[in-house]
Amino acid sequence: MPRPLVGISCCVKGFGPFNTPNHAASDSYVRVVLGPVGAVPVLLPAAGACLAAELLPRLDGLLLTGSRSNVCPRHYGGPPHAAGTPEDHARDATTLPLIRAAIAAGLPVLAICRGMQELNVALGGTLDQRIQDLPGRLDHATPADQPHAPVRTAKAHLVRVDRAGLLASLLPPGWDAGPRGAAIAVNSLHNQGVARLAARLIAEAWAPDGTIEAVRVADAPGFALGVQWHPEYDWEQDSNSRAIFEAFGRAVAAWAARRTAAPGAGRAAEAQPLPQAAE
Ligand SMILES: N[C@@H](CCC(=O)NCCCC(=O)O)C(=O)O
């Protein structure tokens, strides 16, 4: 049987001397899909809502990536971002409908950082835009003055995990047996966070300041998990991070087996006209 296909959400980023828009996803997501997820990575361009119906029937999983850009507040009725806050309207226009269609179809979904924020917004939740400015909250942002690699793998804080949740069920045996109890250490590279949790989401993990750090979709027919941290940066060293991707990979493999047995399974919506290619 051919290996399963996992779609990876792209951002639109300017590259080169003319800042030409490119559809891009970090190499860390490609490597984790090839590695512990055990699938073939398929980069999904941020080309709009039309992609959901075209792509979903051909995919076995959806990996929603992190990004420096932020979900535009008009999608959740929030105030405009402070000047200079990066947005990516093309990504929003692609991922928000894609998430709704994927969840409805039961396609396995793993949502990381911006991806978890998109999952919340796609299902009707709202975001805080700078949690470090809120009273009593921690600064979860990327330290600006430190080099790339260590800051992405360094543990920034603990996360208390609901022992009864999906996340706890997939962590390695004994994950909660040490002195920390039901808490794991995570990295942290975000400014925004869940404000109002979407009605269909269940919080599964919390930072010490109460920030929601993991969610699952309560009524999802398939695997649907979001984490606010970045397991893709340290899965080679961290067994908890690796376990998240392996569990996603098992769900993806099961979906692929069903899709192969019954082609057309997962078809979520009627196809829409494709957009014109950019000039
Ligand atoms: N922009 C949002 C989401 C944060 C996020 O996904 N960060 C990814 C950073 C990747 C990296 O720096 O390597 C927010 O700020 O909350």
Report which ligand 1 atom has the smallest distance to the Cα of 115: 6
- Tell me which residue range forms the domain holding 184: 5-261
DSSP letter, residue 30 = H
Catalytic residue among 10, 118, 204, 230: 230
Which is more confident, 98 or 150?
Answer: 98
Alpha carbon nearest to ligand 1 atom 3, residue: 114
- Sorted by sequence, the CB contacts under 8 Å of residue 14 that are 6+ apart come out as 20, 21, 22
Which residue carries 């109460």 as its tokens? 210
Q: What is the CATH number of the domain that holds 102?
A: 3.40.50.880
The phi and psi torsions of 156 (rounded to 5 degrees) equal -100, -35
Tokens of 270: 């009627």
- Sorted by sequence, the CB contacts under 8 Å of residue 73 that are 6+ apart come out as 79, 80, 81, 127, 129
Catalytic residue among 11, 113, 140, 204: 113
pLDDT one-digit tens code per residue, 181-209: 999 999 999 999 999 999 999 999 999 99
Q: Residues 61, 41: contact at Cβ < 8 Å?
A: no
Question: Active site includes 10?
Answer: no
User: What's the burial of 38, exposed, middle or buried (CB within 10 Å: 0-12/13-18/19+)?
Assistant: middle
Q: What percent of the chain has a predicted confidence (pLDDT) above 90?
A: 84
Whether 278 is covered by a domain: the verdict is no
CA–CA separation, 46 and 59 (whole Å): 16
Does ipTM come in above 0.95?
yes
Whether 151 is covered by a domain: the verdict is yes
pTM score of the predicted model:
0.94
Whether 270 is covered by a domain: the verdict is no
pLDDT value for 276:
56
Site residues for ligand 1, CB cut-off 6 Å: 66-70, 113-114, 142, 152, 189-192
Whether 159 is covered by a domain: the verdict is yes
Alpha carbon nearest to ligand 1 atom 10, residue: 67
CA of 228 to the centre of ligand 1 (A): 9
Question: Active site includes 230?
Answer: yes
Asked if the model's pLDDT at residue 269 lies above 50, the reply is no
Whether 272 is covered by a domain: the verdict is no
Whether 279 is covered by a domain: the verdict is no
CA–CA separation, 49 and 39 (whole Å): 24
Whether 125 is covered by a domain: the verdict is yes
**Total number of domains in the chain:** 1
Arithmetic mean of pLDDT over the chain: 93
Asked if the model's pLDDT at residue 254 lies above 70, the reply is yes
Tokens of 164: 């009864």
Question: Active site includes 190?
Answer: no
pLDDT one-digit tens code per residue, 82-127: 999 999 999 999 999 999 999 999 999 999 999 999 999 999 999 9
